[in-house]
Amino acid sequence: MLRKIFAAATLAGLVAMAAPAVAGSTRETLKEVHWSFESPFGQYDQAQLQRGFKIYKEVCSACHSLNQIAFRNLGDKGGPFWNPKYTPNDNPVVKAIAKDYQIADIDSDSGDAIKRPGVPADYFPSPFSNAAAARAANGGAVPPDMSLLAAAREGGPAYIYSVVTGDGTDAPAGLTIPDGKYYDPWMSGDVSSYFKNPGHKVPKGGFIAMPPPLIADRVTYDDGTKATIEQEGKDISAFLQWASDPHMEERKTLGLSVMIFLFLFSGVIYASYRTIWRNVGH
Amino acid sequence: MSDHPSTYQPNSGIERWLDTRLPIIRFGADLMSFPTPRNLNYWYTFGAILAFCLGVQIVTGIVLAMHYDPSGVGAFMSVQRGIMRDVNYGWLLRGIHANGASMFFLAVYLHILRGLYYGSYKAPREVLWLLGCVIYVLMMATAFMGYVLPWGQMSFWGAKVITSLFGAFPVIGKPLTELLWGGFAVDDPTLTRFFSLHYLLPFVIAAVVALHIWALHVPGNANPTGVEVKSKSDTLPFHPYYTVKDLFAISVFMILFAVFVFYMPEALGKVDNQVMADPLKTPAQIVPEWYLLPFYAILRAIPDKLTGVLALAGALGMLFILPWLDTSKVRSMRYRPQYRLFFFIWIVACAALGWCGSQEPDGQILEGVKTFTLIDADLNSVTWLSRFASIYYFAYFLVITPVLGLTEKPLPVPDSLYTPVLSHPAGAPAGAAAAPETKG
Amino acid sequence: MADSIAHAQAHPDGPADPGRRDFIHIAAAAATLGGVAAVAWPLIDQMNPAADTLALASLEYDLSKVTLGQQVTISWRKQPVFIRYRTPAEIAAAKAADHASDLKDPATDASRVKAGHEQYLIVLASCTHLGCVPVFAQGDYGGWLCPCHGSQYDTSARIRKGPAPLNLVVPEYAFLSDTKVKIG
């Protein structure tokens, strides 16, 4: 009995301490999306990752860098263009994608700065040469690097989906939107100083410098999927989730074997324990 | 090491030769045959679990250091791009190391709570307890510096906030923080020295752990009854009885550990740490890792910077002086129902402090209820909850523990630790003498 | 182990099957050892070349930059590689020595170059003795001399004299065109 109280109190304390810090968040509840990768056994949907990559390439990459991802990563196990027949470095799709990009390099003979076609080992080039250039071109806000974007936002892919599918026009009456900004109910922030509508609650959310990025048929999917805003939003969110967590499939697969081993291991050790302690008063 | 007679018999010529030169086999054999109270429950397995945690952290830490670049530009990339993406099993090793820190603290807190509940800190085990407190402080320092190494936003701003605490001291504050930083702000030199110290401290911890175990083997283990070992029938050899029990506890602990590593590796982290450190932009909310939250809440509960820092240090200091604050002659809370109640409230207060530490200071406890402003904050605020909890935290050590030790009438304590064992599961044995246990 | 346990029992209440008990303890020990062994692999494998290192494992080089009688040293997998445009005299000398008696590691010149591109000799510039970079046009064989311990290589980079046991290693490479080679 005492032990149980003690254990319960301890557990309650730990749970309370481990509770995520959510107070102070004034953003709107994120849109609900079903993801192929959400369960402990869930994996990425490769076709979706390919569609998402297309959105990145044709839409996002105009402003957002992806500086931790190399072209070869696209052909990694679990990646958008993984093909078990090839290593990531000689995957023909990956090579063709890399070739389309111009990579800054130094000519080894003349020492001149040159541009050459990419190879799988190269990283995605940044759209801007430095943070100052990015800031100047985007009204003072640096578009964040997308390599870890899904991991760096509370809510992950659901957050990205909510933000990119919001159309930015539904700003509540009485809210003054600063020049070059857009209202976004899912952004964390505080818009109270821009809100004058007596008797109404200050709207949730904040301002974002990114204009609504998606429109229907912004891209033409190779697999014939209809490119609605929702479809595009889901695909880019899934792609960015993969970019943040490329080893997820490997992690979950290995995790399953480890869990099975640990349960069996505990069982065997428990049997050994019971045998040793049999008939021993304690 | 202790006065228990060695039963080791060298079996071969080589063993006899070694035994007269370096009796290391005898040393190991004596550790294994150490007489251990037979009534230790699962709360006593956390010592072994902690040794396991320390080993895991050291081994994974050494291999992670092979891939880490302790420079401002390189640190974030070497962790996020190198270790997490490119290094073979790097994601796994870092997952174990980062979550291992939380597991280590989870186990150390349960180990400390067990020590508090069963009065393990009392004579003749004060030095054992003090060494444990030293390990705990070293662990916090190590964990804090380790958290800085990935050089994300939380790493950077956590480092800035915590090192700025030292600026609270008059006169020496500013030179002291500049000494810590190696500059005028947290920067590359700070990161590099934190890496160096983060690599060093675990070995210091291991050395203090060796002393801790030495100090344990002089008086021997305490036990849930708090009654000292009186005869040989009270004990069992450590091996195989407690090796197998500890191994079972470790295997169960590993299941919890693996759930975090494989299925929720980022659950205990903060999303802001996935953004590279930016000295020009503070994250919306700076929160330490969960295991430091109660202390962070105590710090913030006090409006004056220096007093806050002293309270933070004092909260730790309470643990150090506890053996001399407890005036009771009875060791285990099993026989101290009143003290036990205050102890459970103390755990709740610590949990409340932990929760407060994770919240905005002006946040409300009851959503939307406005009471009245007391001194500087609304009564229904995180600030006031953490103040009340802090007051209880200190009162528990400074008032309740010494006073209750003198006034409380304990339940009858059994004659021997084996008595309740014999009557198990009936609880305290009938007719056991109520003689409060004397020192020893 | 089971015997000592039986003796340590405080309240023995009848014999148990010792064979079954032994099996449980052996299984427990085996499971522990197996677990430890499985954990060792990631700890070892992390030291193998990482994915970014492997990705740089091949290199394309434009041979038109190398003129007759010239040699360039390029870096491939962080190792120096010699690309030598051999003169006809050097090729003739190398072929003449194909069956020389002092070849420690016998190989024909033809086996060390690609057919149709005999003029290009591509070898790792790392002495097979202890890894120093040999120097060209020194020694008795018209090829390379290692400055560290005096190993001498001929114009096909075969070891002829000195402590090195093997010829300079020819890396895996292929001609993509007459002037373009892919190493690795």
> Quick one: pLDDT at residue B362?
80
Give the end of a domain, one of B242, B261, B279: B279
Map residue C161 onto helix, strand or coil: strand
In a domain, B18, yes or no: no
Q: Which residues of chain C have pLDDT under 70?
A: 1-18
Interval A83-101: pLDDT, tens:
999 989 889 999 999 999 9
CB distance B340–A21 less than 8 Å?
no
Residue A277: Cβ within 10 Å count: 18
> Quick one: pLDDT at residue C54?
85
- The residue-averaged pLDDT of A248-265 equals 96
Number of domains in chain A: 2
Active-site residue, C149 included: yes
Concatenated DSSP letters of A249-275: HHHHHHHHHHHHHHHHHHHHHHHHHHH
Closest partner CB to C43 (pick from B59, B82, B236): B59
> Quick one: pLDDT at residue B422?
57
Place of tokens 């040159």: A114
Provide, as residue numbers in chain A, all residues whose Cβ is less than 8 Å from the Cβ of C56. Answer: 121
Q: Does B97 lie in the same domain as B204?
A: yes
CB distance B85–A68 less than 8 Å?
yes
Phi and psi, residue A206, nearest 5°: -155, -165
Burial class of residue A243 (count of CB atoms within 10 Å of its CB; 0-12, 13-18, 19+): buried
> Quick one: pLDDT at residue B420?
66
In a domain, A112, yes or no: no
Q: Does B148 lie in the same domain as B191?
A: yes
- The whole-chain average pLDDT of chain A stands at 87
Burial class of residue B410 (count of CB atoms within 10 Å of its CB; 0-12, 13-18, 19+): buried
Q: Does A279 lie in the same domain as A175?
A: no
In a domain, A273, yes or no: yes
In a domain, B52, yes or no: yes
Would you give per-residue pLDDT tens digits along chain B (440 residues)?
A: 456 788 899 989 999 999 999 999 999 999 999 999 999 999 999 999 999 999 999 999 999 999 999 998 899 999 999 999 999 999 999 999 999 999 999 999 999 999 999 999 999 999 999 999 999 999 999 999 999 999 999 999 999 999 999 998 999 999 999 999 999 999 999 999 999 999 999 999 999 999 999 999 999 999 999 999 998 889 999 999 999 999 999 999 999 999 999 999 999 999 999 999 999 989 888 889 999 999 999 999 999 999 999 999 999 999 999 999 999 999 999 999 999 999 999 999 999 999 999 998 888 888 777 788 888 888 888 999 999 999 999 999 999 999 999 999 999 999 888 776 555 544 433 333 343 433 33
Q: Does A236 lie in the same domain as A159?
A: yes
Provide, as residue numbers in chain B, all residues whose Cβ is less than 8 Å from the Cβ of C5. Answer: 240
Number of domains in chain B: 2
Helix axes B238-258, A248-277, angle to 10 degrees: 160
Write the Ramachandran bin of B198: left for phi over 0, alpha for psi from -120 to 50, otherwise beta.
alpha
As a whole-number percent, the residues of chain A with pLDDT over 70 amount to 90
Q: Does B52 lie in the same domain as B99?
A: yes
Alpha-carbon A87 to chain mean position: 25
Contact A78, A43 (CB under 8 A): yes
Q: Does B315 lie in the same domain as B410?
A: yes
The CATH number covering residue B265 comes to 1.20.810.10
Q: Does B321 lie in the same domain as B231?
A: no
Provide, as residue numbers in chain C, all residues whose Cβ is less than 8 Å from the Cβ of B61. Answer: none
DSSP state of A130: S
Q: Where are the domains of chain C?
A: 2-45, 53-183
CB distance B247–C46 less than 8 Å?
no
Q: Identify residues of A whose CB sits under 8 angstroms from chain C CBs.
A: 70, 72, 76, 88-89, 109, 120-121, 261, 264-265, 268-269, 271-272, 275-276, 278-281
Calculated CA dihedral for residues B217, B218, B224, B230, nearest 10 degrees: 120
In a domain, B319, yes or no: yes
Q: Does B317 lie in the same domain as B273?
A: no
Instruction: Say how far apart CA C146 and CA C126 lie, in whole Å.
Output: 9
Q: For residue B340, what are the domain limits? A: 287-415
Q: Does A195 lie in the same domain as A163?
A: yes
Place of tokens 């959105």: A55
Q: Does A182 lie in the same domain as A271?
A: no
Q: How far apart, in Å, are the Cα atoms of C137 and each of C4, C84, C125, C131, C145? A: 76, 12, 14, 19, 8
Interval A21-73: pLDDT, tens:
443 457 788 889 999 999 999 999 999 999 999 999 999 999 999 999 999 99
Q: Quick check: A20 pLDDT over 70?
A: no
In a domain, B213, yes or no: yes
Tokens of B174: 């500013």
Provide, as residue numbers in chain C, all residues whose Cβ is less than 8 Å from the Cβ of B66. Answer: 46-47
Instruction: Say how far apart CA B342 and CA B348 lie, in whole Å.
Output: 10
Q: Does C52 touch chain B (CB under 8 A)?
A: yes
Q: Does B212 lie in the same domain as B154?
A: yes
Tokens of C78: 């962080």
> Quick one: pLDDT at residue B428?
39
> Quick one: pLDDT at residue C5?
40
Q: Does A280 lie in the same domain as A162?
A: no
Q: For residue A278, what are the domain limits? A: 253-282
Instruction: Say how far apart CA A262 and CA B244 lie, in whole Å.
Output: 15
Q: Which CATH class is domain C53-183?
A: mainly beta
Contact B64, B93 (CB under 8 A): yes
In a domain, B239, yes or no: yes
Question: For strand C79-85 and strand C71-76, is the pairing parallel, antiparallel, or unpaired?
Answer: antiparallel
The CATH number covering residue A160 comes to 1.10.760.10
Phi and psi, residue B235, nearest 5°: -120, 165
Give the end of a domain, one of B279, B301, B328: B279
Closest CA to B298 of B175, B397, B400, B205: B397
